[in-house]
Structure 1
Amino acid sequence: MSQDDWVPPAGSWASSAARRRNMQAIRSRDTKPEQLVRRLLHAQGLRYRVAAKPLAGLRRTADIVFGPAKVAVFIDGCYWHGCPEHYVSPKTNPGYWSDKVAGNMARDRETDQRLRDAGWTVLRFWEHEPSEQCAATIAAEVEKRRARTQGTGAD
């Protein structure tokens, strides 16, 4: 059976074989915006973990994690996270996809709250934001947090 002969199971998110291939090709990590920001941070001498869980009990990963400084960075895709500037409701199966994006947004808010409750700084950027500005904001926050923890003898 070729991929073009593939038939989605009843109630599946994939409305066609072509849609299924499309969806499977979408990267969940190492996107171009993430890579650009990481490259800029690395050039500034900052070291971090990539696609890591900031909290042991949290089944979610941040795009960039500065563990000792407790800074978690998320670079959100405009479609998947409901960017107010660029999100456009899909024409095919709009109920499913709109619910999916709304669920992602709710999960993002919950993640932010759980991290903040654990003493983390959460930084979120949209994929369309200039990488240079994102990297500058991240670097400033990491340096601020490091200075604060070094002043207390922790870290």
Structure 2
Amino acid sequence: MSTIDEARQDESPSGQPPVAPSPGPHGNGPASVGFVVALAGAIVVLLPTVGAISWVLSPLGLVLSILGVRIAARRQVGRAAAWTGVLLALFGLVMCTVTTPSFMAGINASSSRPATSPTQSYGTPSYSYPSYTTPYYAPPS
């Protein structure tokens, strides 16, 4: 086959080259980012040592997801991701408000206990040995 035949196959019946389809509606970036940030906040709040990070991630995910819901109302794209992000961010915020007081109570309880001395001696026991001077069984008199 020659290049002329290949070029004719690429042309439309009217003799014009094919036109690329117009791009559809663009994605919903705030909905996607809000979903990911809210998901990270909902997971991080369950981890005991880094749960405080969720106080930043969950509100940020909520704001971005609400923005994504507003964009989804106009473009009809990303509605599920936006609403899931809103729900995950609300879950993260509720868990933050539930876990923070219990975490603070645990810190206060541990700080009120007296600290044990690291130089404690384990050499001699603190109990006394039984005395064998008196018999266990006394004969009847």
| TM-score, scaled relative to structure 2 | 0.30
User: Which structure: greater strand fraction?
Assistant: 1
